[in-house]
Amino acid sequence: MKIRPKFNGVLPYHSIGEYYKTHFGEKVYKLSVTVSDDCPNRRGLKGMKTCIFCDPWGSAAYTKTQKLKLEEQIEEVKSYVLSAQGKGAKKFLVYFQAYTSTFTSVKKLRAYIEAATIGNDIVGFVIGTRPDCLSPAVFDLINEYSNRYYFSIELGVQSFDDNQLEFMRRGHTAKDSIEAINKIYQSSNADIGIHLMFGLPGETESDVIKAAETVSQLPIQNVKLHNLHVLTNTPLADLYKKGEFTPLDLESYTDRAIAFITHLPEKFAIQRLSAVATRWDELVAPAWTRHKMKAHQFIVDEMNRREGYQGMYAVESNTSKYNSGERYDRLERFQYSR
């Protein structure tokens, strides 16, 4: 029988907060900003107008600051974080979150990095993008800065099932995602995080377990989990109104999330357990996705009640071509170089 690893405090999983703490020696906060207003889907390059779930703000956390200059966005979002966390928040990662942040020129990306690094409390960058928007020039740029700043690339993978990707109108395949992950791994020092969605039509618990097994073979460091929720002004809202899509209730989503986490090896950090609808006026369904901490606590409590923990059913792979200790090698390299 496996022994439950000692995760950070009471959590039954390896949280991204714990990962960052190991990395930076203290808590680090992400500042979500917008540096792009476009993506291949919205541009019509994929034969569709948008992913099925995406709102007009490109899934941005803060829409009110979206049009400000980057430096102003950073200051505004930092002030939200400081008012919520107090003066204890001292290190920040700038998260290029909305739309597809690499769907722009490298010249512009460089200018954003330069603009963001004026304060010495910025310790790195998280770049949100799609599997089909990663050119060699992006890796060159990251490598140029990565001896001074931490970098992580967050990929919208969403699913490893091509039928589900088609339903979501993503315009890329699971193979594209795996190739992109390998490309990042081979071409840069950036950490890799992936976003996955559960609660897709026809999805079963064994699909979710299969996703955990796929992740366990990949050279990534973290996963962000979302339930597929319905927002206004999205194609999914139309399906919902016609009765052609029903989002999962919290209990059913919790079963999926627990199935995934218990099959995911403990070395992978988990960013988030479910989606959060920060703008309540935009949320169509389900209502439980309004309350970040309530849903989080429900999943954690249920996992504890079942005496479950991350990696409980994970099979240590000896077929993966990646060295599992490598994450920490990278991390030490980063600490020494700053």
In the complex, which residues of this chain contact ligand SF4 (CB under 6 A)?
Answer: 39, 41-42, 50-51, 54, 58-59, 99-100, 130, 156
Least CB distance to ligand SF4 at residue 50 (A): 4
Measured from the CB atom, the residue of 11 and 155 that comes closer to ligand SF4 is: 155
Q: What's the one-letter identity of residue 283?
A: L
Are 115 and 85 contacting, i.e. CB atoms less than 8 angstroms apart? Answer: no
Least CB distance to ligand SF4 at residue 130 (A): 5
Measured from the CB atom, the residue of 58 and 219 that comes closer to ligand SF4 is: 58
Q: What does the alpha-carbon distance between residue 212 and residue 148 come to, in Å, rounded to a whole number?
A: 33
Phi, psi angles (nearest 5°) of residue 157: -90, -45
Measured from the CB atom, the residue of 81 and 284 that comes closer to ligand SF4 is: 284
Measured from the CB atom, the residue of 43 and 241 that comes closer to ligand SF4 is: 43
Measured from the CB atom, the residue of 15 and 289 that comes closer to ligand SF4 is: 289
Phi, psi angles (nearest 5°) of residue 253: -65, -40
Are 225 and 196 contacting, i.e. CB atoms less than 8 angstroms apart? Answer: yes
Report which DSSP code applies to 99. S
Measured from the CB atom, the residue of 92 and 240 that comes closer to ligand SF4 is: 240
Least CB distance to ligand SF4 at residue 48 (A): 9
Strand-strand pairing, 230-231 and 122-129: unpaired
Give Cα separations from 226 to 116, 208, 284 (angstroms). 28, 12, 16
Three-class DSSP category at 126? strand
Measured from the CB atom, the residue of 59 and 164 that comes closer to ligand SF4 is: 59
Least CB distance to ligand SF4 at residue 49 (A): 8
Least CB distance to ligand SF4 at residue 227 (A): 15
Least CB distance to ligand SF4 at residue 330 (A): 27
Q: What per-residue string of b and e applies to 89-99 under the rule 16 or more CB within 10 Å gives b? A: bebbbbbbbbb
At residue 197's C-alpha, the angle toward residues 168 and 2, to 5°, is 150
Least CB distance to ligand SF4 at residue 18 (A): 28
Report which DSSP code applies to 82. H
Return the bridge partners of 122, or none. 92
